[in-house]
A and B are shown apart, each in its own frame.
Chain A
Amino acid sequence: MILEEHGVLVQGITGREGSFHTRQMLDYGTRVAAGVTPGKGGLSIEGVPVYDTVRHAIREQPGIGFSVVFVPPEHSFDAILESIDAEIPWIVAITEGIPIKDTLWLVNYATLKGSHILGPNCPGIIVPGKYKVGIMPSNAFTKGKIGLISRSGTLTYEVANAIKAEGLGVSAAFGAGGDSIVGTSMLEIARMFESDPGTDSMVVLGEVGGAMEETLASAMHAGIITKPVVAYIAGLTAPPGKRMGHAGAIMSAGSGSPKIKLEKLKDAGATITSSPLQIPKILLAMQ
């Protein structure tokens, strides 16, 4: 498995989203071991004990490997910082709207301290048949050998569902997040899939803005990523300088163009497609 299963801590567990997705994660078989909401320690949500602080939670519930953050943007900085300092290896930030200055600082700090941040503004991680740490609709995903890397939630569900309809499946899906600065790049996720024996090929769902797809293409050129890659980039018709819903989806002077991303990925050997729903057929043809 790409990432071993560990206990999950839910930050913001008493909120509407936090409690709802705690139930969903439990139903999927995820071991949600603890929740944190400052001031709500002692409660129990969906049978999961709630603590005031992350330190307290991990002392009481050993074996936590993931923290999933549903905390509103104003409090996300503290929440993520708390998990980094508690040395939780993976922090999955679902929250949309965290100021870029906060994310910038946290991502650099996490690197120093040895934690990984996935997101912010991401749907999380799902390892079909095993566990999910996030908000993906479980029924769109079946177990298989395709690694999914994406900057968009709904597009991931759509493609996973189409893959399922063709009788194929997914080894794991990672949502990198839609913000301008994210903690884990598409390349870092691709490297995990590259070394995962359970993954045969990868699907990359990129979008306008930033240069994560270009960096991935360079790594493919350099032979760092050798497994077959099928890529789709959303936003070919996005006008420059306009932010397309996601904070990170903006094309600025000379960078972020979806055309260039597609060209570079194609040059690096990826199979590119202009329709995300064609992806399963391309994957089938590769089998």
Chain B
Amino acid sequence: MNEHDGVWYVFKLLFAYLFIMRLYEFESKALLREYGIVTPRSFVFSSPNDPQMDKIDFPFPWYIKAQVPVGGREKAGGVVKVNDFGDAKTQIQLIFQKIINGYPVEKLLVEEAVFAKKEMYLSITIDRQECCYSILAGSQGGIDIETRAAEHPETIMRIQVSPLREIREFDILPISQHLGLETELVRHVVLAMHAIALAFDADLVEINPLIIAKKGLMALDAKIQVDDFALFRQPAIALLPPRGRTKEEEAAASLGLSYVSLSGNIGIICNGAGLTMSTMDLVKSKGGEPANFLDLGGGARSHEFKKGITFIMDNERVRVLFINIFGGITRCDEVAKGLADAVSEIGLKKPIVVRLAGTNENEGRQILEGIGISAFADSDDAAKRAVTMVGDRQ
């Protein structure tokens, strides 16, 4: 995998724990094949003029499928059927230029079109409520599986498997009966999917649709999602280029920030995920629009605040910066010091509203007064102020 070489990828790996590792369809299918599940013949293209075009040895029609880390690509025009060479070339060019649900197409899958009378659904996922693995088997798969499951719940069967045990014959039998398939075929696929979930720390292994092909079952599309907390022991997955993030999130990630970009104009910095979410909600309730989620975590030091503050200040979308801190393990003087450092380095580019409470609150206030910022004690008042300031600047 020469494309994964180089310092850049090693660098990315360090911060990979911040993202949800959703494998692309072609990566998911490669894993399935490794575990003996059949998929259609295909080639992965990295550019519109990929030389592999000449190597394709299966007949038309083909499917050209955009590889993006989001669902709903069919509806966004990311999957196209082609019937001849010229058609294929045109569509490949077109799809590479597309942005599918916010994500540019960097790779696509050229795949033989396989047709089936019946499309089914099969997945293994972690059930948060029941604290176990859940196997979901749908007698009617394909796109819109969520809607179908809601409208016709009887088509979906769920089998729960404790993580303390293996999948046994009594788990397999009802699934094969529900799908109307031979136990032999179902056993092979279900055991392989479970093995993938365990071996790769996957919290989702999904085949949709699953079809009956000439030599058994075949996975026409697949989705595997790996737990990002497990990347330290999944070197092969950790080395894959990160995905599922906006450009902004990618930049934040490279700085090691726990960041989500939103569409508004009030930049938000807090300590602790709960407080950050709560601050977003607070801003919204005062009529403002949060530009981001940035949680600097409990116990962050001044240089981390400086880094976060500088990052948000540089964001063109942000008109006002709102820093809401409740010091527990985090010390307010560290926050203030980070802010003062950021301001002395890049200047007071944008208005800043600060709310400080908790550990070393007074020390923090003193530092901020030194740079002409008076901190609020109440987050409600501070949020109101931040929202009014955006209005003033428009």
A→B interface (CB under 8 Å): 73-74, 97-101, 104-105, 107-109, 112, 135-137, 139-140, 150-158, 161, 178, 180-181, 205, 207-208, 210-212, 215, 232, 234-239, 241-250, 253-254, 274-277
Out of A210, A235, A241, name the residue touching B128 (CB < 8 Å).
A210
B273's partner among A109, A237, A244, A254 (CB-CB below 8 A) is A244
Cross-chain contact of B328 among A99, A105, A137 (Cβ < 8 A): A137
- Listed by A's residue number, 25 A-B pairs whose Cβ atoms lie within 8 Å are A101-B163, A108-B132, A108-B164, A140-B328, A152-B272, A153-B298, A153-B328, A154-B271, A155-B274, A158-B326, A180-B128, A207-B277, A212-B129, A235-B281, A236-B284, A237-B280, A237-B290, A238-B280, A239-B260, A239-B262, A241-B70, A244-B273, A245-B273, A275-B282, A275-B285
Most buried by B among A207, A243, A254: A243
Q: How many B residues face the partner with a CB closer than 8 A?
A: 56
Interface string of B324-357 (1 = CB under 8 A from A): 0011111000000000000000000000000001
**Interface membership of chain B positions 281-314, coded 1 if the CB is closer than 8 angstroms to chain A and 0 otherwise:** 1111100001001010010000000000000000
Q: In whole angstroms, what is the CA distance A153 to B318 when docked?
A: 27
- Which of B6-14, B92-100, B104-112, B228-236 contacts the other chain? B228-236
B379/A277 in contact, CB under 8 A: yes
A214 vs chain B, min Cβ distance (A): 9
Whose C-beta in chain B lies nearest to the C-beta of A155?
B274
B383 to chain A, nearest CB (A): 9
Interface string of B364-378 (1 = CB under 8 A from A): 000000000000001
Residue of A nearest to B227 (CB): A100
- Interface pair A100/B229, CB less than 8 Å apart: yes
Tell me the bound Cα distance from A161 to B78 in angstroms.
51
Instruction: List CB contacts (< 8 Å) of B53-89 with chain A.
Output: 70
**Closest Cβ–Cβ distance, residue A249 to chain B (whole Å):** 6
CB neighbours of A73 from chain B (8 A)? 229, 232
**A99 touching B274, Cβ below 8 Å:** no
Contact A137 B358 (CB under 8 A): yes
Tell me, in angstroms, the Cα distance from A39 to B245 when the chains sit together: 41
**A236/B164 in contact, CB under 8 A:** no
How far, in whole Å, are A242 and B359 apart by their CA atoms in the complex? 31
Q: Is the interface of B mostly helix, strand, loop or mixed?
A: mixed
Cβ contacts under 8 Å, B150 to chain A? 254
Q: A137 and B201: CB pair below 8 A?
A: no
Cβ-based interface call for B250 (8 A): no
Q: Which residues of A contact B285 (CB under 8 A)?
A: 274-275
Give Cα distance in the complex from A166 to B133, angstroms: 45
Query: Residues of B at under 8 Å CB distance from A?
Result: 17, 20, 70, 126, 128-129, 131-133, 146, 150, 162-164, 198, 201, 203, 227-230, 232-233, 258, 260, 262, 270-278, 280-285, 290, 293, 295, 298, 326-330, 357-359, 378-380
Q: Which 7 A-B pairs have the closest CB atoms?
A: A152-B274, A154-B272, A245-B273, A155-B274, A99-B230, A234-B277, A154-B275
Q: Which of A181, A207, A247 contacts B274 (CB 8 A)?
A: A207
Q: A101 contacts B17, CB within 8 Å?
A: no
Q: Which residues of A contact B163 (CB under 8 A)?
A: 101, 104-105, 108
Q: Which residues of B contact A253 (CB under 8 A)?
A: 146
Q: CA separation between A207 and B278, bound complex, in Å?
A: 9
In the bound complex, what is the Cα–Cα distance between A172 and B163 (angstroms)? 32
> Could you tell me the distance in whole angstroms from the C-beta of B265 to the nearest C-beta in chain A?
14
Complex Cα distance, B357 from A247, in Å, reads: 26
Q: Find out whether the CB atom of B164 lies under 8 angstroms from the CB atom of A112.
A: yes
**Cα distance, A274 to B284, chains bound together (Å):** 11
B residues less than 8 Å from A238 (CB atoms): 277, 280, 293
Contact of A99 among B201, B295, B329 (CB under 8 A): B201
- CB contact under 8 A between A211 and B273, given known A154-B326, A274-B281: no
* Most chain B C-beta atoms within 10 Å of own C-beta, residue among A99, A112, A250: A99
Q: A100-B227, A234-B281 known; A254 and B274 CB under 8 Å? A: no
In angstroms, how far is the closest chain B Cβ from the Cβ of A74?
6
Indicate if the CB atoms of B230 and A178 lie closer than 8 Å.
no
Q: Is the CB of A215 within 8 A of B129?
A: yes
Is the beta-carbon distance between A137 and B274 smaller than 8 angstroms? no
B146 contacts which chain A residues (CB < 8 A)?
A: 253-254
Which residues of B lie under 8 Å from residue A254 when comparing CB positions? Answer: 146, 150
* Chain B residues with CB below 8 A from A276, complex form: 278
Give me 12 other A-B pairs in contact (C-beta within 8 A), A108-B162, A210-B129 excluded. A99-B227, A99-B229, A104-B133, A156-B274, A157-B326, A157-B328, A180-B203, A211-B128, A234-B281, A242-B293, A245-B293, A247-B229
Residue from B131, B132, B277 with most neighbouring chain A CB atoms (10 Å): B277
Complex CA gap A98/B233 in Å reads 11
Is B126's CB under 8 angstroms from A158's CB? Answer: no
